Amino acid sequence: MTSKQQAKTAGEDGAEKRVFYNTDECPIRNVVAQIGDKWSVLLLFALVEGPDRFNSLKSRVVGISQRMLTQTLRDLEREGYVNRTVYPEVPVKVEYALTEMGKGLVKPLYQLVSWADTHHDAIRRSRKAYDERG
């Protein structure tokens, strides 16, 4: 974190607690939120198996619209996680592939997804119990 994110404040118990700022310098807001959308992680995992074309990705990530697939791929490319390669053929061939940074990102994401898989049933039970109380 930058020095701006390392400010601390005293909690009710007197212990120091970090303060999080909603700024572009905040790695949580600026980096993690981008990949935390509905489709990015699924597309990153789809590309782990190697380069793929738009229509193939659309069929493999069930439920994503063409518009959302286009936007998410553009966002992932902008962030540096995905390369878009256009081959000068007729018809034009376009492939998407993970960059080295994208491959590096998938490793810790896999741990998160593995944790989610392990705890999915408990989380669903917790949600149900909460909703029944409300």
The pLDDT score that the predictor gives to residue 125 is 97
Cα–Cα distance between 130 and 134 in angstroms, integer? 6
pLDDT digits over 36-51, tens only?
Answer: 889 999 999 999 999 9
- In single-letter form, the type of residue at position 13 comes to D
Residue 54 to residue 68: CA distance in whole angstroms = 12
Q: Residue 1: pLDDT above 60?
A: no
* Paired tokens of 84: 């878009």
Query: What's the pLDDT band for 26 if we cut at 50, 70, 90?
Result: confident
Task: Note the pLDDT of residue 31.
Answer: 79
Q: What integer is the mean pLDDT of 23-40?
A: 82
Reported pTM: 0.79
Indicate the CATH number for domain 38-133: 1.10.10.10
Q: Strands of the chain (E only): list them.
A: 8-10, 16-18, 52-53, 82-87, 93-98
Residue 10: per-residue pLDDT: 58
CA distance 87 to 103: 23
Query: What residues does each domain of the chain span?
Result: 1-35, 38-133
Question: What's the rounded mean pLDDT across residues 69-77?
Answer: 97
User: Strands 16-18 and 52-53, how do they pair?
Assistant: unpaired
Q: pLDDT digit string (tens) for 92-134? A: 899 999 999 999 999 999 999 999 999 999 999 999 999 999 8
pLDDT tens profile 77-94: 999 999 999 999 888 899
